[in-house]
């Protein structure tokens, strides 16, 4: 499937929040996404061929590093390359902003996401104990990092 990726806008937040709630047991709130837009965090949505917002992604950039905060594909669109498309968008943007590396946290139980990130060159660099809320208390996060292409200095 072909995805159209574009910058997230305030008008997208109903669909973004809907997708987030459909995909995750502990979703981000609409307010978190509003804050991300207000603070200028690079944020995207991916539209399906019929124009539905199928997924979204949010990151930060600072001091040569990108930090992936959220990558979400509505369950209906999972397994169709949407997560990879959004991840590639984040990496391309970070490289375009001369970031040297990217980090992210992912639930230790999210094996599909971990496999996606590893296939994209991310490597485990640590674990954050009890990072995520879980039905049974807290769940660990696996911390992943990818070195990016270093721009040529002239």
The pLDDT tens digits of the residues spanning 5-62 come to 999 999 999 999 999 999 999 999 999 999 999 999 999 999 999 999 999 999 999 9
User: Is residue 77 a part of any domain in this protein?
Assistant: yes
Residue range 91-96: average pLDDT?
Answer: 95
Active site residue 105: yes
Residue 37's domain is classified under what CATH number?
3.40.630.30
Alpha-carbon gap, residue 14 to 144, rounded angstroms: 30
- Counting the structural domains of the chain, the total is 1
- Residue of 20, 105, 132, 139 marked catalytic: 105
Active site residue 24: no
- Residue of 20, 24, 117, 147 marked catalytic: 117
- The predicted-structure confidence for 105-124, as pLDDT tens digits, reads as follows 999 999 999 999 999 999 99
User: Is residue 66 a part of any domain in this protein?
Assistant: yes
70 is in an annotated binding site: no
User: Is residue 154 a part of any domain in this protein?
Assistant: no
User: Is residue 9 a part of any domain in this protein?
Assistant: yes
In terms of residue numbers, what domain contains 34? Answer: 4-147
User: Is residue 22 a part of any domain in this protein?
Assistant: yes
């Amino acid at each position: 499937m072909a995805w159209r990726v574009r910058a997230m806008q305030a008008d997208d937040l109903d669909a973004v929040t809907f997708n987030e709630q459909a995909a995750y047991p502990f979703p981000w709130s609409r307010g978190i996404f509003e804050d991300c837009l207000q603070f200028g965090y690079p944020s995207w949505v991916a539209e399906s061929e019929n124009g539905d917002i199928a997924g979204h992604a949010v990151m930060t950039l600072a001091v040569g590093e990108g930090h992936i905060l959220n990558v979400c594909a509505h369950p209906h669109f999972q397994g169709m390359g949407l997560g990879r498309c959004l991840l590639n968008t984040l990496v391309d943007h970070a490289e375009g902003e001369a970031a040297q590396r990217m980090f992210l946290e992912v639930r230790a139980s999210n094996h599909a996401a971990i496999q996606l990130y590893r296939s994209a060159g991310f490597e485990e660099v640590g674990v954050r104990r009890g990072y995520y809320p879980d039905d049974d208390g807290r769940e660990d996060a696996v911390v992943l990092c990818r070195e990016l292409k270093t721009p040529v200095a002239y």
